Amino acid sequence: MQLLLHWMGPLLALLLLQPAGSLEVQCPVPTIPHGWLNPAQKNLSAGSTAVLECEAGYVPVGSSSVRCLSSGRLQPRAPACTRGRCPSPPAVDYADRRPPYELLVGSTITYFCRHGYTLIPGVSPTTTCLKNFTWSAIPALCQMVQCPSPAIINGRETSAKQEKYSVGQQVEFQCNPGYTLWGSQRTQCWSDGTWKPPVPYCDKVCVPPPLITNGQHTGLRTELFPYGTEVKYSCAAGLSLIGDESIYCTSEDGVNLTWSGPAPVCRVVRCPRPVVAQGRMDVSWHTFPYGTSVRFSCNEGFVLHGSAESHCVADGSWQPALPKCQPVLCPKPQVANGKLTSTDQAWYPINTTVTFVCHEGYHHFSGDGEAALKDSWTATCLADGNWTPLPKCKKEDDADVCREVAYIQSIVSDCHVPTEDVKTLLEIQKLFLEIQKLKVELQGLEHILH
């Protein structure tokens, strides 16, 4: 019937319009973006119809049948093609899409893995609306997240052990006897495949450090004392801390933990004011509690015997023992070729004056080479333990040399003759004298031969 009408329409129009004698009515066909009429023609004669066809991905707007009315107008007036749509995108296991959905040809939709699932590596989580109004193929996108089996050192899992740990799974732990748990007793598998809070561990700890009377330690608010923890003790005001100020948690056998030593004690410890006769202290304190150090020195004319420094120790004594300042003594003076005429003793106190005489044939000479007129000479013991210059007893012959030396010294100093020149002159004189001596010896030899 439709086919009949299809053919009958134009025929009818021809039959109806032609006898009217008027011009044949035509409908001009506009350009149709992304589409065309089938059969293709520039004009459509009144009463005829054509099919509107669209390029791939496009669909006719409204009816796909276009008709030329007797008024010369097309129906629809402006046939058009529009971008087509895909049906609702397919569901993907363990994934969701986010609205708003754009379902036009060419648009792309992204999927997201649900909580507890993660995108399979290397897979693109998108699909595109194709020109044939279907969605491009989507492979499996998401896989279940798993946490590694939680391993606890020196402890165990108290919740039932699983083969696989998926997101949200909770696990509880317990330490082996003698160990203490570090971290959270309970943990949960998170969507990033990790345990939060982290899996705890079990370790030995030291017992709380000993409490002391009249003192305290820095670990009072600490609950656990793991290996290496240090606590520091302090005493109430006025008390001395005897022993090590700090102890730390350590191990002697590599297994069990103990404190490095006993806790110190707090006591009143006062040492007596240190008194060293004829001595001085480097401090001007009036109190000498435990730990005080004092240095000593002696007054002039006295020498320190013992340790110059002493410490106030736990039993209230000074260690090492306080030194003594003893008077300085001069040793018995030794004079070559001479002897003492005053009392002979091994040591002489300061300010003692002793007298000497030179042996027979020896004389005392002073610095200028002149022989002393006196036969006896004195020396005095000084505060530093030395004697005033001791006499020098020399032979008569040596006296000439001494005089000569004194003479040369006077020339050098009086005439400002450089020492080097004096030396050269003396060398020449020495050579001259030696030549003369040789001549005399030679003469003597000739005498004997003849």
Binding site for ligand NAG (CB under 6 A): 26, 28, 42-43, 130, 132, 134, 253, 255-256, 301, 350-351
Three-state SS annotation for 243-267: CCCEEEEEECCCCCEEECCCCCEEE
Residue placing its CB nearer to ligand NAG in the complex, 17 or 265: 17
Least distance from C-beta 182 to ligand NAG, angstroms? 19
Which residues, other chains included, contact 206 with Cβ-Cβ below 8 Å and sequence gap of 6+? 225, 226, 227, 229, 249, 257, 258, 259
Residue placing its CB nearer to ligand NAG in the complex, 42 or 286: 42
Residue placing its CB nearer to ligand NAG in the complex, 3 or 78: 78
Least distance from C-beta 179 to ligand NAG, angstroms? 11
Least distance from C-beta 201 to ligand NAG, angstroms? 19
Give the DSSP letter of residue 19: G
Both tokens assigned to 419: 């020492």
Which residues, other chains included, contact 441 with Cβ-Cβ below 8 Å and sequence gap of 6+? none
Least distance from C-beta 255 to ligand NAG, angstroms? 4
The count of other CB atoms within 10 Å of the CB of residue 433 is 10
Least distance from C-beta 137 to ligand NAG, angstroms? 8
Which residues, other chains included, contact 386 with Cβ-Cβ below 8 Å and sequence gap of 6+? 330
Cα of 203 vs its chain's centroid, Å = 26
Hey, is 421 helix, strand or coil? helix
Residue placing its CB nearer to ligand NAG in the complex, 26 or 409: 26
Residue placing its CB nearer to ligand NAG in the complex, 27 or 212: 27
Give the type of residue at 358. Answer: C
Q: How far apart are CA 150 and CA 129, in angstroms?
A: 44
Place of tokens 């648009």: 107
Least distance from C-beta 5 to ligand NAG, angstroms? 24
Least distance from C-beta 252 to ligand NAG, angstroms? 8
**β-bridge mates for residue 329, sequence order:** 349
The count of other CB atoms within 10 Å of the CB of residue 411 is 12
Distances (CA, A) of 37 to 32, 50, 68, 80, 255: 8, 6, 12, 10, 93
Least distance from C-beta 299 to ligand NAG, angstroms? 10
